[in-house]
Amino acid sequence: MLKNLTLICFLLSLYSFKSGKIISGYEDPKIDSSKVAAIKITPAKPLIEKDIYGYYLNFDINIKNQTTHVIELNSVELSVMDATGKLVQRKFIDHNGQSPEIDILGKTVIKPGESISIFNPFHTFTPSVTIASLKYGFFFDYEDNQQQADNNKHRLPMDYDASVIKVIKPEVYIAKNEYYLPLKGKIIVWDGHDFYSDNRREPIDAKDGKTNVISKNSNRYAYDLMSIDASGSMYRGSPYDKQNWYVFGKPVYVPSDGKVIEVKNNIPDNDFNGKSIQSPKLAPNADPKGMGNYIVIDHGNGEYSVMQHMEQGSIRARVGQKVKAGDQIGTVGFSGNATYPRLHYTVINSSRQLAAEGIPSYFNDYKLYRGAIILPIKRSRIDSGDIVESDK
């Protein structure tokens, strides 16, 4: 009888766990689970990027340990809810499987008072999914000593010490301006803003390698654009000669009507010295953000374009000048913190770049190459790996 009762209780706990109500297998009665960790979402109002293939969510999660315990994040669950509060879809990531599983998030062990930054692991949804709100469950184990750490490796996903629930209400972002690709010819989005992208992976509230503490990610929806030949190669011959890169010296065009509000045009381009980058000697603070030569254009409606790593002396516009979509604005260079010639392009929501958040940008009138198939695109997003060509 006792065994049957135990089995029934276990099955009921599983049913509650799977149905959207998160129930701890073990909770320390001395600790209020809601106060275990402070969960901060950046940006506070996450944006949904959208195309015909689905929905994309791009935000950061900062977790601060508010206990006197060392805690380990052992799993994250997501319940997607519709406007009526009904469960649409449920996803999870934990340690109960082949590596890397939850290790893909990076650091998951948090000391008392310490914070970690992770990237939203549930980033892509099909068009059939209706997203009104996102209910996240963060589940923690105590790990104050090696014995607890060893024991935690063998615990079931339903067995955890504390949990924190966070409800997020994202919104679909509709761009307020018309944008066109800033390069002509066939180009590849060598680095976009998908989950694995360098542009995407900017830890929030962490040092950026210099002196600044980053509280926003202006590169959240950025692209590194490269010209390619018919076979998809980005350079001819040796890559250790900047002149061999197809994109080097290519014209850069204004992506959308606007007014120039900032220009940097005097940073010498990098070069290669054998297989190393030879950077020019600069005066202190000449290029503190590693942007090289760049231009910022105010398109109105709170949207700004930033184009970086341009060729020294190539930028034709001056601050205050009005420009039109399709005007040549300069050429692609190899200046600033760049490992090879490329155009770094992003749209942001403020003229102050360290205080700006990146926002989605949708481009008009281009071709999308899928092998032998060429798809004409009237308006859509681009991302890592896409091969595109402007029709304008």
pLDDT, tens only, 266-312: 999 999 999 999 999 999 899 998 999 999 999 999 999 999 999 99
* Distance separating alpha carbons of residues 33 and 69, to the nearest angstrom: 13
pTM score above 0.85: yes
- DSSP 8-state class, residue 149: H
Q: What is the pLDDT of residue 18?
A: 35
* Measured distance CA(304)–CA(353) in Å, rounded: 10
pLDDT at 1: 47
User: What local confidence, expressed as pLDDT, does residue 213 receive?
Assistant: 53
Q: What is the pLDDT of residues 364-379, one digit of tens each?
A: 999 999 999 999 999 9
Residues of the chain with CATH 2.60.40.10: 28-172
- Residue 187 pLDDT more than 60? yes
Query: What confidence score (pLDDT) does residue 32 get?
Result: 52
Give me the torsion for CA of 329, 335, 338, 344, rounded to 10°.
-10
Q: Which CATH class is domain 186-390?
A: mainly beta
Report CA-CA distances (Å) from 255 to 80, 307, 346, 347, 392.
Answer: 35, 10, 11, 10, 10
**Closest-CA residue to 285 (of 211, 202, 199):** 211
Count of CB atoms situated within 10 Å of the CB of 250: 21
Answer whether residue 9 shows pLDDT above 50. no
Q: What is the mean pLDDT of residues 50-78?
A: 95
Start-end of CATH 2.70.70.10 domains in the chain? 186-390
What CATH number labels 28-172?
2.60.40.10
pLDDT value at residue 203: 64
pLDDT at 6: 41
Give the whole-angstrom CA distance, residue 31 versus residue 356: 37
Residue 34: pLDDT band (50, 70, 90) is low
Q: Is residue 158 over pLDDT 90?
A: no
Q: What is the pLDDT of residue 14?
A: 39
Contact in structure between 181 and 255 (CB atoms under 8 Å): yes
H/E run at residue 17: helix 2-18
Residue range 385-389: mean pLDDT, rounded: 97
* Token pair in block for residue 142: 């105590």
Lowest mean pLDDT among 38-42, 84-88, 234-238, 354-358: 354-358
What are residue 373's DSSP bridge partners?
A: 370
> H helices of the chain, where?
2-18, 146-152
Mean pLDDT of 97-117: 90
Task: Compute the distance between CA of residue 325 and CA of residue 210 in angstroms, rounded to an integer.
Answer: 35
Tell me the HSE value of 81 on the side-chain side, using a 13 A CA sphere: 18
